[in-house]
Chains A and B, each alone.
Chain A
Amino acid sequence: MSSEIIQVLKEDGTVSPLFKKETDLTEQDLKKIYETMILTRVYEERSLKLQRSGRIGFYIGCKGQEASHIGSAYALKMDDWVFPAYREPGVLFLRGIALKTMICQMMGNAGDPTMGRQMPCHYSYKEGNNGSVSSPLATQIPHAVGIAYAAKYMKHKIVSLTYFGEGSTSEGDFHTGLNFAAVFKSPVVFICQNNQWAISVPVARQTVSESIAIKAKAYGMPGIKVDGNDVLAMYQVTKDAVERARNGDGPTLIESFTYRLGSHSSSDDAARYRPEGELESWEQKDPIIRFEKYLLSENILTPESIKKIKDDAEEEFTQAVKEAEKVGLPPLETLFTGVYKDMPESLREQMEDLINEQKRLGASEDNSMAFPL
């Protein structure tokens, strides 16, 4: 149950014959998954450049984990819920968010649905049933369990899925979340993206269990360890877990065994703590390269169509940044809105006073794009 690691797509780009025969993924699906992985990779590389040139304040990414989160999220229906950690932008793309909205969020301007109130990359996408990204670790686990419990109680046939890192398994919320979900057979799928590092703490300092997946056994639920750089295995394993949950058979813990190819965030330098050669060996297992090999060998894509997908993603990003940069700052009243459903009179007075003060003194100079931030 625990030490075995599930793999469908081998590193040479070949797949098991059984998968080919049984999968419900069409060529269209495979292309969609690939395009989303490319967009996510481009989004990361370009966003880091935006951060380094001072156009956004912070970035936290998922390079190397595209298969892990995009493959798994593809197994969900649109009315299912996702409670992300902070390394799953591809899930938002799959669920239909506009690229411009994502960039506006990182800029914290008026195009950001949260109006600049959250840190960059702390997206919130209610329309896509995607819970808000939060910096505190593991808080999304009880949220996912709670919504699954509610869904079961209200007899809604939905499933909730939550992502967290292996560092979060040391949090109390992991334990209480898994226990509660198991006792109440809540329809939830737990995906631990074990990327080997919690900032600079290696997984060996996080737990002495032989795997993350084996922890499921303690809670009487299935625990499955998957090659997280194998997008097809991630899809298949998640699909099975989602079906179990939807059929009323309770939660599943999936350990996606993967690797963070980038630093923890734009504020970190992983070269200071990674052992020599580790990054290089994982770069050989890049999930995009592996999936590309498969798509080429099956003639689903050609070198030309791959180039076009990549060029289109670059161009889409360029255009989205141009448009996002035209959007102004959030209006002054957003300092006051979004807290109460009906604003108390005392707060309304303060808001009006401040707006009148702004009218009297004039707006300050907009230096939001000045370098450095």
Chain B
Amino acid sequence: MISLYKNLFYQSLRIRMVEEKIIEIYPSDKIQSPVHLSIGQEAVAVGICNNLLKTDLLYSSYRSHAYYLAKGANLNKMFAELYGKVTGCGKGKAGSMHLAEKSVGFMGSSAVVASTISHAVGSALASKRLNKNQVCVATFGDGASEEGSYHESLNFASVFKLPVLFVCENNGLAIHSTIDQRHSYKIHEHAKSYNLKSTYIEEGYDFMKINSLISETINEIKLTGLPQVVEIKTYRYKEHVGIGDDHHVPYRSSKDFDNWKSVDPLIQDKTLINEFSEKINAEIEAAVNFAEQSEFPADSELFTDIY
């Protein structure tokens, strides 16, 4: 049996290589929607999703590729969606920022900051009422914690004792604003003002550590039915939106970037990279071919899937 480390590594590497492929394709304009890349943040998605059943429901932000893949959704359908093809997970109508795959419990992602947090809470209320032993997970960035919807959601989940896991992937940046320009609080400490249990992980590159904390947290939530908050410090390698690097723009230092790269297993563990690359590449090539060969949606699709 493949070890846990290898399994999580494989999943993380697969996400990174998918996004690197997106970077390669993007200048061709075949992918027409904006892309918010998760490169540097893959361990968070993998560490969370490894502990979720298909029946557990996940809601993410627009930086959604990693979650879509980690939750087990189909890669062909993802590339097709990015290409705007009818075989995509949203029939080519959703694009990169609104990936969803109900069959694996990836319920949605949205361009509107913090909007899916309240969806996770509402869905947890429904699961509680319907007596489903289900955890609902909301993942969001540090910027989302400034939104009113975040506050309302945490308060509501706490008052109504709902089985929600709130995960903040704190990459320290809301587009270009640093956290000290925006927060009077630390996210995991602020969560205590709702009487919520909260934990903090500094090593957002360490999928093993994230996996083990999330495993414990999910078990507690299933046992107690009470919500919890997890804050994970992570690092966005690429610019906020798009495929470029932006360390030359003076809002963040390349020194921090170098520090993260020096501990990033997806860069450092060359043995496993070599072991897995070929297989992953083949899968990606097949997915890109699938997307290329698929059709665009017919005009009649403009009117379907609304009501």
Contacts of B147 in A (CB 8 A): 172, 176
A174 and B151 within 8 A (CB): yes
Q: Report how far A209 CA is from B158 CA in the complex, Å.
A: 9
- Interface flag for A29 (CB, 8 Å): no
B184 and A207 within 8 A (CB): no
- Interface flag for B261 (CB, 8 Å): no
Interface range for B: 20 to 34
A220 and B148 within 8 A (CB): no
B189 and A205 within 8 A (CB): no
- Interface flag for A58 (CB, 8 Å): no
**20 A–B pairs (Cβ distance < 8 Å), ordered by A:** A171-B148, A172-B149, A172-B150, A174-B148, A175-B148, A175-B152, A176-B147, A176-B151, A179-B182, A179-B185, A183-B182, A183-B184, A206-B159, A207-B158, A207-B159, A208-B158, A208-B159, A218-B185, A220-B185, A221-B184
* Mask of A165-184 contacts with B, CB within 8 angstroms, 1/0: 00000111111101100110
Residue from the set A206, A215, A221 with the largest chain B CB neighbour count within 10 Å: A215
- Interface flag for A219 (CB, 8 Å): yes
* Mask of B255-290 contacts with A, CB within 8 angstroms, 1/0: 000000000000000000000000000000000000
Q: Which of B5-13, B39-47, B192-200, B236-244 is found at the contact surface with chain A?
A: B192-200
Given A183-B184, A207-B155, also A176-B194 (CB < 8 A): no
- Interface flag for A217 (CB, 8 Å): yes
Given A179-B184, A183-B184, A208-B158, also A218-B193 (CB < 8 A): yes
Q: Report how far A220 CA is from B186 CA in the complex, Å.
A: 10
A208 and B146 within 8 A (CB): no
20 A-B pairs besides A206-B159, A219-B184, A219-B190 with CB distance below 8 A are A170-B156, A172-B148, A172-B152, A173-B148, A175-B148, A175-B150, A176-B146, A178-B184, A182-B184, A205-B159, A207-B158, A207-B159, A208-B158, A208-B159, A208-B194, A209-B193, A210-B195, A214-B193, A218-B192, A220-B185
Contacts of B158 in A (CB 8 A): 207-208
Q: Quote the shortest CB–CB distance from B227 to chain A (angstroms).
A: 11
Q: Report how far A179 CA is from B147 CA in the complex, Å.
A: 10
Contacts of B182 in A (CB 8 A): 179, 183
From A214, which residue of chain B is reached at the shortest CB distance?
Answer: B193
Q: Report how far A172 CA is from B147 CA in the complex, Å.
A: 7
B184 and A215 within 8 A (CB): no
- Interface flag for B28 (CB, 8 Å): no
**Chain B contact residues, majority secondary structure:** helix
Q: Quote the shortest CB–CB distance from B72 to chain A (angstroms).
A: 33
Contacts of A210 in B (CB 8 A): 195
B183 and A183 within 8 A (CB): yes
B152 and A171 within 8 A (CB): yes
Q: Report how far A182 CA is from B185 CA in the complex, Å.
A: 9
Q: List A residues 40-77 near B (Cβ within 8 Å).
A: none
Q: Report how far A221 CA is from B183 CA in the complex, Å.
A: 12
Contacts of B151 in A (CB 8 A): 171-172, 174-176
- Interface flag for B181 (CB, 8 Å): yes
Q: Report how far A358 CA is from B261 CA in the complex, Å.
A: 78
- Chain B interface (Cβ < 8 Å from any Cβ of A): 146-152, 155-156, 158-159, 181-185, 189-190, 192-195
Q: Quote the shortest CB–CB distance from A78 to chain B (angstroms).
A: 30
Q: Quote the shortest CB–CB distance from A249 to chain B (angstroms).
A: 14
B194 and A179 within 8 A (CB): no
Q: Quote the shortest CB–CB distance from A209 to chain B (angstroms).
A: 6
* Mask of A225-253 contacts with B, CB within 8 angstroms, 1/0: 00000000000000000000000000000
A208 and B195 within 8 A (CB): yes
A220 and B184 within 8 A (CB): yes
Q: Report how far A179 CA is from B158 CA in the complex, Å.
A: 20
Q: Report how far A210 CA is from B193 CA in the complex, Å.
A: 9
Q: Quote the shortest CB–CB distance from B264 to chain A (angstroms).
A: 31
Contacts of A173 in B (CB 8 A): 148
From A223, which residue of chain B is reached at the shortest CB distance?
Answer: B193
Q: Report how far A174 CA is from B154 CA in the complex, Å.
A: 13
Contacts of A179 in B (CB 8 A): 146, 182-185
Given A170-B155, A179-B146, also A209-B194 (CB < 8 A): yes
Contacts of A208 in B (CB 8 A): 158-159, 194-195
From A183, which residue of chain B is reached at the shortest CB distance?
Answer: B184
A218 and B159 within 8 A (CB): no
* Mask of A24-38 contacts with B, CB within 8 angstroms, 1/0: 000000000000000
A207 and B183 within 8 A (CB): no
Q: List A residues 259-318 near B (Cβ within 8 Å).
A: none
Q: Report how far A28 CA is from B85 CA in the complex, Å.
A: 78
Q: Report how far A206 CA is from B194 CA in the complex, Å.
A: 11
Q: Quote the shortest CB–CB distance from B120 to chain A (angstroms).
A: 16
Q: Quote the shortest CB–CB distance from B213 to chain A (angstroms).
A: 22
Q: Report how far A367 CA is from B305 CA in the complex, Å.
A: 53
Q: Report how far A174 CA is from B194 CA in the complex, Å.
A: 14
Contacts of A175 in B (CB 8 A): 146, 148, 150-152
Q: Quote the shortest CB–CB distance from B234 to chain A (angstroms).
A: 22
Q: Report how far A171 CA is from B152 CA in the complex, Å.
A: 6
Q: Quote the shortest CB–CB distance from B260 to chain A (angstroms).
A: 26
B148 and A207 within 8 A (CB): no
Contacts of A178 in B (CB 8 A): 184
